[in-house]
Amino acid sequence: MTDRTSQRRRRIDGFALFWGAPSFLWQGVFFLAPLIVLVAMSFWVVRNFRLTPDFVFGNWERMLTRDYFWAGYGYTFQLALLVALLASLIAFPVAHYLAFRARPGIRRLAIFLLITPFFTSYLVRIYSWKIILSTEGVLNVMFGWLGLGPFGMIDNAFGAVVGYLTLCLPLVIIIQVFALSAVGRALIGAAHNLGAPPLRTTLTVTIPAARIGLILAATFAFILSFGDYVSPTYLGGGTPPTMSILVVDQTKSGNHWPRASVVAVTMVLTLVTVLFAALFAAYGRPGKKT
C-alpha cells in the first residue's frame, strides 16, 4: 500500500499538476471561499455601518422570529412545489411524444429548440412576457376582441408561475425525454402484448421504469424556481416577497449583508434537504431496487 502510494506520488508531477490544479484553485478561491464567507457572515454584526466579524446568533434570531420571513418562506416553497408539479405534468405528454412517437428528425429539432432557450437570455424572455401579459398587452387586446377581460395576469402568483415555467420547462422536457428514451421499447411492447391499454401501460410500466429521471426533472424545476429572483419580481409583483427578493432587499436596500446571508443559508439548507429527499425517493426506496 505504502509502495503504491509513493509510486503514485512520484507520478504526480509538473504535467499532471498543470492540468489538475487550475480547476481546483479557481473553484476553491472563487466558489468555495465565497460560500464559506456567506455562512460565516450570517454570524457577523454590523457596527456603525461596517461589517465586523463576530460569532453571534442575533441575525438568525432576528430573521427566524419575523412573520414576514416565514410567510416568504412558505410562499416560495409552495410556488416552487407547484411549479415542479405543473412543469412535470405539462412536460410529460411532450416528452412521451418526442421519445416514442416523433420521427428522429423531429426529435432532434425539438431537442435543439429546447437547448437554445436554456442558454439565451432568461431576463429578456421575462421582460417579453411582462408586456404580453400586461393590461394593454397582446393577450388582453385579443381577449378584448372577444369581449372579455382585461385580466390581471401579472403582479400576482399567476404571472410568477408563467415565468417559472419559462425557466424550467425546457430543462424538464429534456430530462424527461432522456429518461423515457432509456425505457426499453421491448418492455412497453411486452405490456401491449399482454393486453394492457396504452394509458395503463404508461401508468404502470413506463412511469415506474422512468421514475429516476422524472423525479430528477421535478427536482431541478423546484431548485430553479426556489432560487429565482426575476420571475417573482417582474411578473409576480414582488408581494409577498419570495426568499430571493428578501435576499436582494436586505443586500441592496437594507444594506444588511448578514441578514441576507441568513436567508441565503436557509435557502441552501432547504435545497440540499429537498435534493436528498428526491435522491432517496428516486434511488433509495427500500425493496423496490431495480
Among positions 7-36, residues that touch other proteins (CB under 8 A) are: 8, 12, 15-16, 18-24, 26-28, 30-35
DSSP character for 47?
A: E
- Contact between 3 and other proteins per CB under 8 A: no
Contact flag: residue 56 with other proteins (CB under 8 A): no
Give 51's strand partners.
46
Told to check if 216 binds other proteins by CB under 8 A, we report no
Q: Are 228 and 164 in contact (CB under 8 A)?
A: yes
Q: Is 207 in the site for other proteins (CB under 8 A)?
A: no
Residue found by looking up cell 508531477 in the block? 13
SS3 52: strand
CA distance 59 to 70: 15
Task: Determine, following the binding rule CB under 8 A, whether residue 198 of this chain makes contact with other proteins.
Answer: yes
Contacts to other proteins from residues 233-272, by CB under 8 A: 234, 244, 247-248, 251, 257, 260-261, 264, 267-268, 271
7-46 burial, b if ≥16 CB within 10 A, otherwise e? eeeeeeeeeeeeeeeeeeeeeeeeeeeeeeebeebbbbeb
Binding mask 135-164 for other proteins (x = CB under 8 A): -xxx--xx----------------------
> Considering the rule CB under 8 A, would residue 128 count as an interface residue with other proteins?
yes
210 touches other proteins by CB under 8 A: no
Closer CB to other proteins, residue 2 or residue 120?
120
Find out whether 187 and 105 touch, Cβ atoms under 8 Å. no
Q: At what angle do helices 211-227 and 67-96 cross, to 10 degrees?
A: 140
Cα separation, 217 vs 169, in Å, equals: 9
Please report how close the Cβ of residue 125 comes to other proteins at its closest, in angstroms.
4
Using CB under 8 A as the binding rule, whether residue 187 contacts other proteins is answered as no
Hey, CA dihedral for 182, 184, 189, 194, is it positive or negative?
negative
Sole binder of other proteins in the list 84, 86, 160, 173 (CB under 8 A): 173
Stretch that binds other proteins, among 67-75, 121-129, 153-161, 207-215 (CB under 8 A): 121-129
195: contact with other proteins by CB under 8 A: no
Of 60-68, 69-77, 134-142, 277-285, the window that binds other proteins (rule: CB under 8 A) is 134-142
What residues numbered 60-99 form the site for other proteins, per CB under 8 A? 90-91, 93-94, 96-98
Q: Which of 75, 84, 130, 154 binds other proteins (CB under 8 A)?
A: 130
Are the beta carbons of 168 and 221 closer than 8 angstroms?
yes
